[in-house]
Chains A and B, each alone.
Chain A
Amino acid sequence: MNLRNYNIYFHTHTISGIIISLILYVIFFAGSFAFFKTEIASWQKNTPNSVVEKSGTDMNRIRDTMAAGMDLYGRDLYITLNERTSRMTVSASASKDTTIKDKGGFFYMDATSFKKQDYRKSYDLGEFLYRLHFLAPLNVIGGRGFLFGYYLAGLVAFLFLFAIITGTLVHWKKIVSNFYVFRPWEKLKTLWTDIHTALGVITLPFLFVFAVTGTYYLVSFPLVTQPTAKVQYGGSTDSLFQQTIPGRTNYAFEDKKLNHVPDLNAYFKDAQQKLKGAELRNLIVYNYGDQGMRIRISAVNQQRSFTEPGTVIYNGKTGKVEKLTPIDQKGSYIKAVDSLVYSLHFGNYGGNIVRILYFLLGIAGCIVIISGVMIWLVARNKKNIPEKKRRFNEWLANIYLSASIGMYPVTAAAFIAVKLNPGADRGFVYSFYFWVWLVITILLVLRRNNYKTTRDCLLIGGLLGVAIPIVNGLVTGNWIWVSMRHGYTDILLIDLLWTVIGITSLVTWLLVVRQQQEKLLHKLSPSGV
């Protein structure tokens, strides 16, 4: 390979990598747990998914519960069911009848009790980790209207894409030959390099998908949508979305009330017949109670059609089917890309197996990041590098590692904290997580020992992780075997996940400590070199 190009790839990979490393680690670590967002919510609130089959859900009752708080006339209503949790999301837009002044809203509703809960109050650790993974808490920095956190995360995701491409170019020639090379007991530099390249190659497709789709989610609106709308759609992002997002149609509001109360259950039942073999996921009512009312119901079956949801749209005035898109019909490119971007990023297409695999790949991504920082540090820790620069590098790596590895015990502790405090709301989760994280990071930074940082975080995180299912059992009585007997798969998933994570890190801790002891013995013995 051209030596100049090689060195340029190498350098740009290093610089872009070291700039994004800490934030990218936070994104990956929190994001890995966010795959289990709904399960974490059910686990924390101890509300197992009691009604797995949502096809019998009483839609009229949901509507009536919503109507208790506001006049529904002229609003668009969105009801979303999730097969993994009994928590449904329900929202209402502002009314198109301008005489109805009160705003709409976003709620959660329980599938068994139909109790309405507002977003803020039912905030949970799953939601926190999910939003942390695109830096939503940092949006406050930009003030109103400027989504600082999202844009920063988007920038990091894009630089990550750049780092993936340059990293692949650097490693290109050795991509096959070095794949099987793993020398954990040689000098540290080779250990970090082997981890970085081997895991980097294994996770490459996964990382690439996440870099691209992540950038899309966070910065596409200001960087792509708005400029495109300006030159192609007369400056209106609304009309752009209407033409490009499947299912985004504007139905005219006629401002004439219907003389009957719509029976949503009838539509819901009928849609089940029409979309047989697929699971109903959401029901949207446009212009509720108006002569221009439409009811749109969609369903998915990813085994039969990976990217195409089936939909049926009813005319609310006549009750007749206006448009039916069966689940098996040949899909359009637009729909395929639209759902593919979502499915690939959220890993919602293959049940728990895929999400567990995604979780492991996400954690592998974290290890790729950390080993990258370690290569950067070790490669610069040489005599020919000025003392001042070396000290700076050491501090930087020290801060990076303390903050990122410290996240593990903090996350484990947060699971225990929200379990012990049943009233844990957003304020509690924020202050617990961020303060403990800050304190731990400062303590680790002051101790200035990367080996001890890793060792102790593995131990504390491992102990806390193993304790999580025990605390859950003590607080709620839902021990692992109880959940198993009752089929509370969501609660069980979190308990088992932490058991495995905890045991794995305790074993790793043991190996690390043993290795270090052997090294010390070797150094002390007179025959040692």
Chain B
Amino acid sequence: MTKLQERTAKPGPADRPTRSSPRTAGRQWALLALAMAALILWPLVKLQARVVDDLPGALGRMVAIPGLGRIYLDTVIIAAGSTAVAVVSGTGLAWCLTRVPRRLYKWMSLLPIVPLLMPSVASVQGWSYLLSPRTGIINRYLREWGIGSGDSGPLDVYSMAGIILLTGIILTSFVFMFVSASLRQRGAELEAAAAACGASPGRTFLTVTLPMMRPALVYSTAIVLLLALGQFTVPLLLGTPDRIDVVSTAVYKVSADYPVDYSVGGALAVPLLLVGLVVILVQRRALRDERRYVSVSARSRQVGLTTSRWALVPIVGYLVVAVILPLGALVSVSLSPFWSGRISPSTFTLDNWVSVWSDRNTVGAITTTLYALLITLVIVLPLSYLVSVALLRRTRVPGSVRLIVDILSSIALCMPVSLLGFAFLFTYSEAPFRLYGTTAMVVVAYVTLTIPFAIRPQLSALTAIGPEYAEASRISGAGSLGTARRISFPLIRSGLGVSAALVTIIVAHEFTVSLMVTSPTRRVIGSLLYDETINGSAPDVAVLSLLMLAVTLVGIAISWVIAGGNTVDKI
């Protein structure tokens, strides 16, 4: 069946060039591949060259790292566990959304997206105040209610289970976003038909909904798996007390030693790079013919489906767990003189907020972050659109070029961000770039980091609209630019909005790479937060985490204006 579908998916007459020869088109796309390679591959090549120069020695020193096997095992456990949590809960939430009462649909569709706005560092800090073994607020209540004994537990966020669950919760929104968008775009006619034929909601989900969601599921699973493999914030902040290390944190520790053994750092990350490449190739193979999933509907997603108020419970519950509880804890700590393990409104003060704001670095960092975000958006959105077009099988891009673009566009996802930071630092500090200390260096790093995220929503939207509209435009005499401007952009506007919002979120929340590419005179909110985590008090960290959230909201407002509508709704 698959083979038959593949055969029918071969380019038809409308796919043939109308304005330029295949050779010219191939050269243009090759130029794009070259630009991508210069941007993304060059820092990595420079870094990996250090490994190759000293390969035997690096491998020897790497093997000598105590508990190396445990580090890789923990990386796999955390990646697999959190991906499973995210995919199951994200898909479940997307399905629940199709079943909520119609009048509540719009509001409920927003709720699972809201956690994306919450910086992961803020989420982790919030949950550490809630679930620290001895002083966590929830643990105290549980012990008072007779659940657990002694003066510790019963829950511990600083554990493998805590790290997996929290990482999974943070990544759930990504899965929901892709799956829900896919469900919404495809309408509910097929499910309604299945229901009309007597299929139960469960059977409809398994036999109709799930197969139709395959592109979104494969994309989101791959992205979430790569994010989980390179996860840094949660293991760094929660893994230390219980000695849980993953590859990212191990690389970070290597890079924090003097003299820094870059060869070992690079070698440690090689398995992740290889796994990432395999994931991308598997993803590419699983979705090699996007035409099988084309289905644009003008009907509402919910028409013909049974709805229930019970579907609200998981959605609201997710919002409470992912946002409301940690945010409440953060606000409480930000208003306290110090973190005492208790919420004491009588001691609340605005002193921490005044202190953080009176630091001239804070306003400077926020300004730089917003400025860098704007420039990043201006570069990333057109670039990712071009890449998305190149990745569509129906476009006249030579297969080899497409493969290269595909791998390049995802490769940043395969590398631990801590290692990427050093790669950027060494590449762009030296001649001929010498960008260190400038906003340009921050922007180059952000563009590289965000490209994979900006591509996927646009590619998903392009895949779903099919080639017919663009073909009709070309047959009517419009050129590539005219077709893109008048046909493709309006049709994938929601995808562009999602891309802009995702770039905003990543830039506003980023702190690992920012730490390396920013200088004291050119800080961003992420590097400032890191400084405060290292040197400051819990209330100051809480204030900065909340400011990071505020910056995200400002960024979303900007992307809202750029996209010409409610970005969150479009997500």
Whether A associates with B in a native complex is: no
A: residues with CB less than 8 A from B are none
Residues of B within 8 A of A (CB): none
